Chains A and B, each alone.
Chain A
């Protein structure tokens, strides 16, 4: 070999090795600091992984779960909720519903500070309510505000003064409602979205300025962690707010990082990730994570649900007969989906509410898996066995994609021919809207309000994926929402669930558990409560 070329190779080799050397040296140097972080009580860095970005720190304009995971660190809500739906005090120490159920008063903790040191008062809550109902402000979650007096059905108030929110004194806020409301509805549906914003920063006299305000680039909240900086929606660095009114967090830095689901396990194993909080660990990795030393793995019962839609529009007469839909429900072996596809980490769904839901109807008479009966029902209904039915499935949820194949086999067993087509979510939604499908698989579930599922049963709403023309089921849920007596409400929602089982406008398939985990470096992490975006990060302890 030519001398110069040899020299070149040597240089290359040295370069490569010195690079590798650098990195391992770096690791050796870094290890003590990492450990120091874990040792030194408040010096620690805790990294929380979520699988998708929060999009924007404007909590009223994020698309969903991942935004809420971040918002819970930065901002305060009046109350929070444990896994089973029990309401716990946060900003509000206690509350009282008026006898006429038309107003509700909240007493606030009186030592709450904003991250800039200003005091948080009832005025901030009033300001937030007025701003978020103003048509000048963009608020994706506005309909949650439509319980307040002075707002229309969409939650818009033309006159901010008329909005039913007033500061009785500095530490007391009172909401007034259009019509009598049950406290559960207010606490669950409305207050879930009322992240309090600082009046002293955002009140410029023009609500429209809130949308484009620089505030959202580095928001000032009153939550347990302060904003430090973020990188392109990929990682967010937060610092403990030592003056947090419930006590300073136990560690200095909380990093929220977007990590692809496939890398979660690798990150947990090598210590890059301390906590997986939003977006499940892939089932294929679950056993590894459960058996790993130093990792606490928790399978959390989730309130979301997966369901099958039928095309029930006037143009499609295949599924109009309730016998056909019942037959499908009886033909699908839901237990097998849970046991085989989810390795048992889930439960069979009868309706939108799982058995652990406070409003679950335990007298519900569910259809039993029985292919023989199912086939008989189809024959009685004169079902067209010669046609091939199109089942559309969104990409991205592996269990759901696999479930389509098992469902296809179950249906084939009773003589129903189906064709599965998989699309990206945006395409699938437009196909559903245009009725270009026979069957479809989707997921839902958003909050613990027993009526939250009714939106997919509301004729005219774009989430009416079965294209229902009958408002029967929506009306049943709406009746429940209008009642204020707990027993009456329970009864109304029992009827709602029973009607869904009898009529099967959708087939509810299963509730899949969330598979979360954290490093044993951390303790006192209420992982079960994460389902409602309640992370209680100020309570987490970092081990010495």
Chain B
């Protein structure tokens, strides 16, 4: 087990460097320089922008810029934002908390909604319940989140006036959990919707498969109660695709739910990413990308380990 983990970590290192080189190259291909963009404001002086470019080393060849950035990153310094002049690390840590809260809530909500739907669909295959949950899951998957977000805003904020239009907190209510929940509930539901549809289908099809297994028939023949059969024997063995899906989804969510965060002005990494891309604020874009890359690598390993827990037949020695 330990050998397996250390081998996986070792393999991750070159992958990580590969990703950074690729990201650096791709972002340098995007046309437009971060500082020249400022010149669209006619009050900003051109000479000053040129001076800044030299100061920031933007006039240097790409590989030198890469090695400088890499060298700094290995010491934990992700550089400074061209846009806000703040350390990228601080900006990411600021956004990460908000993003993490939103992501975790959405994942929990998604599981809470999709597990009962998925289980019941599989149990009553092709019955009314199954059809309802199929329609629901297609609806959830195919509705774009910006649209759903605006519909929610219209009903809950404009018509019913029970929920705020965005942000994370009311002023002076920073430690008020209820205020936080009020702000969190709409974006979290909308974000979870994207996952719910997929999860229901995953759970349903994988349970249907497991239900055909001999050991399920044996369990039933032993006279076990139906719920024990479903929960202990069927569900547990059906969770591998679910875990795989979440293992891929969570690290992406950590990079920020770009659309949802923007609609609800949720101050997370997704919002930061969009602003940084539009402003060609490369240090921040690279910083968030590196974070997501690391998260993907870490979650891949975690997912593999959970497989072993769920299915003792999978061994890593």
Interface residues of A (CB under 8 A from B): 1-5, 8-9, 12, 19-20, 22-24, 26-27, 30, 45, 47, 53, 55-56, 58, 61, 63-65, 135, 138-144, 153-156, 192-193, 211-212, 216, 231-235, 237, 253, 255, 257-260, 262-263, 266-267, 269-273, 424-431, 433, 444-447, 452-453, 455-456, 461-463
Contact = CB atoms under 8 A, between A and B. Distances in A.
Given A232-B91, A267-B165, A270-B161, A23 B182 contact: yes
Contacts of B116: 5, 8-9, 12
Given A23-B182, A55-B83, A234-B265, 17 more contacts: A12-B116, A45-B171, A63-B279, A138-B48, A255-B171, A260-B166, A260-B262, A266-B154, A270-B161, A425-B40, A426-B278, A430-B31, A430-B32, A431-B31, A433-B36, A446-B42, A452-B42
Contacts, number: 203
B263 A260 contact: yes
A466 B116 CA distance: 63
A461 B46 contact: yes
A266 B158 contact: yes
Nearest to A138: B52
Contacts of A455: 42
A257 B265 CA distance: 9
A143 B181 contact: no
Contacts of B161: 27, 270-271
Listed from nearest, the 10 A-B pairs whose CB atoms lie closest are A426-B32, A143-B45, A154-B47, A446-B42, A430-B31, A234-B267, A64-B41, A232-B267, A446-B43, A26-B178
A283 B220 CA distance: 65
Contact of A456 (B42, B83, B153, B163): B42
A289 B248 CA distance: 43
B271 A24 contact: no
A426 B30 contact: yes
27 contacts: A5-B227, A8-B116, A23-B162, A23-B178, A26-B178, A27-B161, A27-B162, A61-B85, A138-B48, A140-B49, A144-B45, A192-B43, A232-B272, A255-B171, A259-B165, A263-B153, A266-B165, A272-B164, A272-B165, A425-B278, A426-B30, A426-B278, A427-B30, A428-B32, A444-B42, A462-B46, A463-B42
Nearest to B179: A26
B101 interface: no
- Binding site secondary structure of chain B: helix
Interface of B: 30-34, 36-49, 51-52, 55, 83-86, 91, 94-95, 98, 112, 116, 119-120, 150, 153-154, 157-158, 161-172, 178-179, 181-182, 185, 226-227, 230-231, 262-263, 265, 267, 271-272, 275, 278-280
B267 A231 contact: yes
B171 to A, nearest CB: 5
A260 B37 CA distance: 21
A332 B31 CA distance: 31
A446 B36 contact: no
Nearest to B266: A234
Nearest to A45: B171
B265 A263 contact: yes
Contact of B168 (A231, A259, A260): A231
Contacts of A135: 51
B42 A232 contact: no
Contact of A2 (B32, B38, B42, B227): B227
A140 B153 CA distance: 39
B227 A4 contact: yes
A1 B226 CA distance: 11
Contacts of B98: 232
A444 B42 CA distance: 7
A49 to B, nearest CB: 10
B45 A63 contact: no
A27 to B, nearest CB: 6
A446 B41 contact: yes
A263 B264 CA distance: 9
B114 to A, nearest CB: 12
Contacts of A427: 30-32
A461 B48 CA distance: 13
A285 to B, nearest CB: 11
A140 to B, nearest CB: 5
Nearest to B115: A8
B48 A154 contact: yes
B171 A142 contact: no
B165 A426 contact: no
Which residue of A61, A232, A258, A430 has the most chain B CB atoms within 10 A of its CB atom?
Answer: A232
Contact of B171 (A139, A144, A237): A237
B85 A142 contact: no
Contacts of B166: 259-260, 263, 267, 272
Contacts of B94: 231-232
Contact of A429 (B40, B52, B172): B40
A5 B42 contact: no
